[in-house]
Structure 1
Amino acid sequence: MADIFLSYNEKDRPRVRQLAQALERAGWSVWWDRRVPAGLTWRSLLEQELQAMRCMLVLWSANSVKSEWVCEEATEGRLLGRLIPVFIERVRPPAGFREVQAADLVDWDGTHDTIGLQQLLDDIAHKLGAPAVVAEGVAPPTPVDPPHPTPSPWKPWGVAAALLLVAVGIYLGVGAVTRREAAVPMASPPATSTPSATVVAEPPSPAMSTAADTAAAPTPIAIAAKPNVKLPPIATVATPKRPLPARCNAIHERQGLGEAPSAADQAFLNQEC
């Protein structure tokens, strides 16, 4: 696949060779030698190169404007949008190509630094971009080092501010830990002796309602005495009195009327009343 396809008449071959060499020195690949490899036909080779090219230079001369092959190739290049006409002689282009602006190499003497050739190379580069490979003898563009970044005048202040914030954070964190440790009370050592317990309880009162006969007695409150610690006075917890059974009241009433209790009532009085 060639970058540039040269369309010309065979009678202009010497001048075409000079242009092909100049284009190759600039870094472009050029298809201009019309030799047909073995196994291919001219038509198939031409079709292959026309489809693979990136740009077509049609060289207008007194010979090429009369060539049907050149006109056909130029028409294909125009349809593909890849055509750049070039005058190598002062002629009138064929119909259909006269309105297209053409490069002027009429007075070109084959040197590389002429204005006409440089303008043509610029037009090709504008159409295709920079050449991928620079040929030998043409100096590649000098690489330009990127500019060094200018240090910001605020950078030292930013570093100092960051260090100050870190120091303040450390100070506040240590202070918070110290205050938290001071707020936690020390655990008392385990007692080495068996703690004593004080149980406070009172007998039930006969004045309570009989509906609570089956209520369980409250659990005694035990207060463990810590060694070497002075305990405050123990508050007396009032225990509700258990009401007397109704049978006790009935036996008492009969006794008040002068009736002697039976042996069963006497045993019940002794046990429950």
Structure 2
Amino acid sequence: MSDIYLAYSLADGDRAAKIAEGLRAAGYSLWWDRDIQPGQDRKAAIAGAMADARLCLICWSRTSVDDDTGADVIDEAEAAKERGAYLGLLLDKVELPFGFGGHEPVDVAPFRGTADEVGAVVAAVRDFMASGQATPVALPEPPPPPGRPINKAWVAGAIGALVLAGAIGFFLLRSAAPSLAQKVEPHLARIDCAWLHVDPIQSGADGHIGLIGVAGDPAAARQMVLDVAGAENLTVRSVSIDKVATIDPRECPAIDEPRRLRKSPGGRLRVTGDPFFLDPATGQSLARVAISLAAGDKSVALFGVEPSGVVTWALPDAKAIDALKDADVGLVKAGNGKWEFNIYPDHLGWTGLFVVVGDRPLAKAMPQGAVQPSAEFARTLRAATASGEWDADMIWFRIDSR
């Protein structure tokens, strides 16, 4: 058993060697992949060393935070964080991968291997060994509402009024000719490795239509809309994909498995607060999530998903959503199956959220906060929804710097 497991990108081998040398000189037992013996199974050796180590020291650099060159490091960091053995080490000034913004890294960037830098790493390791993994930094308080304080009863009534207005509008529109968006939406639901909607701001009324969501090939989705328009003699001058995130095609299972359950055009999930900005002081953004279940929905689970394909079990059931009343996230519950609350993403770029609803609880569920790679999540969700009636809704939004 070693005190420390060292995770790093191969491109950072020389810098990692300086860290390993300094830690061993300080009296710590350390294991890294250069300790693998000839003929030894690499994967098994790494898994065993990680499981045995009291501390997994994760070297974050320009290559290790990249989904292509640093996938193994990110996976190892996730596993370490789950068991409370994670300590991040910032070798370069980089944005941490999604899910690690709440754990303050040891900042020695740009790390060149000087005695002082190595000494700072040794001191941080010593502190970790004494106190354990630091808890995530506290979420900032939600910003105060403009003007008078919000009356929760009024909010509940307003939500009810909006639902009623939407129902009236639905029945009034049923007899009207379908809009361009209504004609295009069913086709969007059939695109592999994509979850797309027509942008309500660019709905095609003026001949310009926009798409919003995520796709493995946004250009192909745009061409599909143009093909549909041509086949149905619709006047479409342009199709915008500026609001479409691109997912790595290798991570399609994270999108396709929920899409397999998708039956309705959506409406159960909304995010408000656009435009979304990352606060440089807190390293977090703020978004308001609204969930509205349909009459037949007996269960609900909320997930977070990134274009990298990593899926987080944010709120695995309705009890977890109700438990937000004990957190400072501005929870409002308006009747059964309707909630509003704040979330605080800690990274720039695209973020996806989706709900899975059904006529029964999920047959298999991961604990709140559990993180799964794309393919692993797809297998879990398929097993969890093997029987029963299910539906899913997904939205994507982008966080920018100010």
TM range, smaller chain:
0.3 to 0.5
In our comparison, the structure showing a higher alpha carbon Rg is 1
Q: Which structure's residues are more often helix, by fraction?
A: 1
TM-score, length-scaled by structure 2 = 0.30
TM-score w.r.t. the length of structure 1 is: 0.44
More strand by share: 2
